[in-house]
Amino acid sequence: MFEEDFHRPVLLEETLLGLDPQPGNVFFDGTVGGGGHSGEILVRILPGGFLYGTDQDPFALEQARKHLCAISDRFQLDSINFSTFLGKAELPLLDGILLDIGVSSHQLDNAERGFSFQKEGPLDMRMDPRQELTAATIVNTYEEKELADIIYQFGEERFSRRIARAIALRRSEKPFENTKDLSDFVAGLVPWPGNHPATRTFQALRIAVNQELASLVEALPRAHGLLGFGSRLVVISYHSLEDRIV
Ligand SMILES: C[S@@+](CC[C@H](N)C(=O)[O-])C[C@H]1O[C@@H](n2cnc3c(N)ncnc32)[C@H](O)[C@@H]1O
C-alpha cells in the first residue's frame, strides 16, 4: 500500500462541507485512522486552531502522527476509545466533531488483524490489540445461545441459530483456528446469492469484539454536550445498525 492510500479519506468533500472547519477552530476527530480527515481538518483550522484526535488502534495512530506532524504541531493524539475520551478528557467547547466509525480499509486489508473473511489470518478482529477479547474467544468459548444472539443482532443474519449450532458442534471436535477456517465453514451453511455467506457473521463478530455499537451509543450524548452553539457533528456510518443509533 502506498503512503498516500493510508490517508485517503471517504466522503471528504461532504465531511468538510458538514464540518466547515475555520481558522482558530477547535476540533475532535474520534476515529483518526490514517489521519486523512484529520489532516484535511488541521490545515483548515490553522492558524490558531487545535485538533484533538483518538483512535483505539495504536498502529493507525502511528501513521497518522507522521502525517499530521508534516502539517503542524497543533494537535494531540490519544490511543483510546473515543467514548472514553469524550467522557474523561477536560476539553474546551468544540467547534466540530467527526466520527468516521467502523473498521478502516487498512485494518481490513491486513490479514494479520483477522478482520477479513477473504484473507487467511488469526481470528483476532481487535482494533485495540491491548484488549483481551478476540474473535477466537467468542467463536470457541461463548455459549451457543450467546453466539447466536451476537450473529443475529450485530450481523442481522437470519441463519444465526443454524450457524451458532454448527459452530458449537464443530468446535467441540476442533476449535476454529483462523479466518479462512471460519469463513469456509460458514459458507457451507448459508445460501450463496448476494454477498459472501460469511459477511454477516464476520461483521457481527467484529462489532462484538470491539463493542462498536455500545461505544457509539455512549459517545453521542457526550459529544453533544461538548458542542457549542453553531458547532457541528458529523458521523459517517456504514450500515443500518449504526444508522439507527445516529
Ligand atoms: C473508517 S476508519 C477512519 C478513517 C479516518 N477517518 C481516515 O481519514 O483515515 C475508522 C477508525 O476508527 C477507529 N475506531 C473505531 N471505533 C472506535 C472507537 N470507539 N474509539 C476509537 N477509535 C475507533 C478504528 O480503529 C479505525 O482506525
- β-pair partners for 236: 100
CA 128 to ligand 1: nearest atom: 25
CA 57 to ligand 1: nearest atom: 25
Task: Report the length, in residues, of the chain.
Answer: 246
Name residues of the chain where pLDDT drops below 50: 1-2
Q: What is the DSSP code (8-state) at residue 11?
A: T
Cβ burial of 245 (10 Å; 0-12, 13-18, 19+) is middle
- Predicted local confidence at residue 21, as pLDDT: 98
Distance 158 CA to ligand 1 centre (A): 28
Superfamily of domain 3-100+212-245: Vaccinia Virus protein VP39 (3.40.50.150)
ipTM topping 0.95: yes
- Predicted local confidence at residue 7, as pLDDT: 56
* Tens-digit pLDDT profile for residues 19-60: 999 999 999 999 999 999 999 999 999 999 999 999 999 999
Cell of 92: 474546551
Angle, CA of 83, 108 and 234, to the nearest 5°: 40
Query: What residues does ligand 1 touch, defined as CB less than 6 Å away?
Result: 9, 30-31, 33-37, 54-57, 60, 81-83, 100-102, 104, 127, 212, 215
The span from the CA of 154 to the CA of 202, in Å, is 9
Distance 174 CA to ligand 1 centre (A): 34
Q: Backbone dihedral region of 203: left (phi > 0), alpha (psi from -120 to 50 degrees) or beta? A: alpha
Distance 54 CA to ligand 1 centre (A): 8
The span from the CA of 101 to the CA of 120, in Å, is 24
- Predicted local confidence at residue 191, as pLDDT: 86
Q: How far is CA 125 from CA 19, 41, 69, 77, in A?
A: 30, 29, 29, 22
CA atoms within 13 A on the CB side of 18: 16
Domain 111-210 in this protein, CATH class: mainly alpha
Cell of 158: 437470519
- β-pair partners for 129: none
CA 9 to ligand 1: nearest atom: 8
Cell of 226: 461538548
CA 54 to ligand 1: nearest atom: 21
* Tens-digit pLDDT profile for residues 156-179: 999 999 999 999 999 999 999 899
- Predicted local confidence at residue 1, as pLDDT: 41
The span from the CA of 10 to the CA of 59, in Å, is 20
Alpha helices in 174-245 (DSSP H): 179-187, 199-210, 212-225, 240-245
- Predicted local confidence at residue 25, as pLDDT: 98
Q: What is the DSSP code (8-state) at residue 178?
A: B
Distance 30 CA to ligand 1 centre (A): 7
* Domains in the chain: boundaries: 3-100+212-245, 111-210
Distance 139 CA to ligand 1 centre (A): 24
